[in-house]
Amino acid sequence: MKLRLFAALLGLASILPAHAEDPQTTLRKFVDGVQTLTADFSQVQSDEAGKVTGTSSGKIALSRPGKFRWTYEKPYAQLMVCDGKKIYLYDPDLAQVTVRSAEQALSGTPAALLSQKALLGDAYTLQDGGSENGASIVRLLPKSQDGDFKSIELWLSNGVPQRMRFHDQLGGKTDIRFTAIKTNPKIDAAQFSFTPPKGAEVVDGGG
Give the pLDDT band of residue 19 (cuts 50, 70, 90): very low
Rounded mean pLDDT of 173-190? 96
Residue 175's DSSP bridge partners are 44, 165
Under 8 Å between Cβ of 40 and 190: no
Task: Check whether 92 has a pLDDT greater than 80.
Answer: yes
pLDDT of 11 higher than 90: no
pTM above 0.75, yes or no: yes
Pairwise CA distance, residues 138 & 154, whole Å = 5
In this predicted structure, what is the pLDDT of residue 13?
A: 32
- The bridge status of strand 201-204 relative to strand 96-101 is parallel
Calculate the dihedral angle through the C-alpha atoms of 174, 179, 184, 187, rounding to the nearest 10 degrees: -90
Residue in 159, 152, 61, 151 with CA at minimum distance from that of residue 111: 61
Q: Give the C-alpha separation, 131 to 123, whole Å.
A: 23
- Can you give the pLDDT at residue 28? 81
Mean pLDDT of 158-173: 92
Q: How much is the average pLDDT of 112-124?
A: 69
pLDDT at position 23 over 90 = no
Domain ranges across the chain: 27-204
Residue 57 has pLDDT above 80, yes or no: yes
Tell me whether residue 107 is exposed, middle or buried, using C-beta atoms within 10 angstroms of its C-beta: 0 to 12, 13 to 18, 19 or more: middle
User: What was the pLDDT predicted at 64?
Assistant: 87
Flag whether pLDDT at 180 surpasses 50.
yes
Average pLDDT over residues 115-119: 66
Which residue did the predictor score with more confidence, 150 or 71? 71
Average pLDDT of the chain, as a whole number: 83
- The predicted-structure confidence for 74-85, as pLDDT tens digits, reads as follows 999 999 999 989
Domain at 27-204: CATH architecture: Clam (2.50)
* pLDDT surpasses 70 at 2: no
Mean of pLDDT values over 107-131: 74
Give yes or no for residue 17 having a pLDDT over 80. no
Alpha-helical regions (H) of the chain: 2-15, 23-33, 102-105, 110-115
What is the CB neighbour count within 10 angstroms for residue 205?
Answer: 15
**173, 154 in Cβ contact below 8 A?**
no
